[in-house]
Amino acid sequence: MRHPFLNYWAKPLPQMESASLLARVGASQTKTLVTVAFLSALAALFQSAGGFVPGPGYLLSPLSTAPVVLAALISLRSGLTAYVLSIVLLLLLQPSELFIFPFTTGLLGLALGFSIARSKNRIQVVSLSTLALWAGIALLLYAFRFPLLGPSVSMSFDITPAIYIFLFCLLYSAIWTEISLRLLARLRTSVNGI
C-alpha cells in the first residue's frame, strides 16, 4: 500500500510542451496576448463571483486559480501578466476581493503553473504551491492583519492555527495540482486532435 502511494507522488510529470502546444494551434504573439487577456478576465470574473452572486458565487471563486495556472503554463511572463491584469480588473470590478486574490488564489495559480512547467514530480509541485499559498495567507493574517479566515482565527501568530492553515494549504494545493494536470492533459488531447 505504501509503495503505490509513494510511486504516485514521485512519478515524473509529463513533459511540458507549452510552446509547441501554442505553435500547433498557430499562436502568434497577438493570439498569445489575447489568450492571456481572456484568461485574466476569466480569473477576475471567477474571483468576483462571490460579490456579484452571494452564496453560489462563492463556489465559483476558487476557480480563479485555473486561468492563472493556464497562463503560467504558456510562460512565466504570461502568468505574471495574467496575474497583474486580473488584479487590475478586480480593482475595477470587485475591490473587496483585492486583498484575497493576489495572496491566495492568484499566487497559488502562479506557483502551480511555474512548478508544473519546471518540476520533475508531484511532490515538488505540491511543496512549492503549498509554501506559496501558506506564505500568502500568513502575510494577510499576520502582517496585514486582514481577517481572511473570519473572526474565529486570531490575527496574532500562534503555532496551532499556523499548522492547521499549512495542512489546509497542503491539501488544497494537492487537489489543485491534480486538477491542473488533468486540465493540461485534456488541453493536450484537444490540441493534438486539431
Tell me the pLDDT tens digit for each residue of 142-152. 888 888 777 77
Q: What is the pLDDT of residues 89-107, one digit of tens each?
A: 999 999 988 889 999 999 9
C-alpha grid cell, residue 3: 509503495
Burial 83-99 (b: 16+ CB within 10 A, else e): bebbbebbeebbeebbe
Q: What is the CA radius of gyration of the chain?
A: 17
Residue 87: closest CA among 97, 77, 72: 97
CA neighbours closer than 13 Å in the CB half-sphere of residue 163? 3
- For the chain, the DSSP string reads -HHHHHHHHHSBPPPP-HHHHHHHTT--HHHHHHHHHHHHHHHHHHHHHHHHSTTHHHHHGGGGHHHHHHHHHH-HHHHHHHHHHHHHHHHHH-GGGTTHHHHTHHHHHHHHHHHHHH-SBHHHHHHHHHHHHHHHHHIIIIIS---TT-TTS-SS--HHHHHHHHHHHHHHHHHHHHHHHHHHHHHHHHHHT-
- What pLDDT sits at residue 193? 65
**Residue 128: pLDDT over 60:** yes
The pTM assigned to this predicted structure is 0.87
Q: Please check whether residue 21 is in contact with residue 188, taking contact to mean a CB–CB distance below 8 angstroms.
A: yes
Q: Which residue has the higher pLDDT, 140 or 191?
A: 140
User: Any idea which residue has 503560467 for its cell?
Assistant: 72
Condensed to tens digits (0 to 9), the pLDDT of residues 22-75 reads 555 556 888 889 999 999 999 999 999 988 888 888 899 999 999 999 999 888
What pLDDT is attached to residue 19?
A: 47
Say yes or no to pLDDT of 194 above 70: no
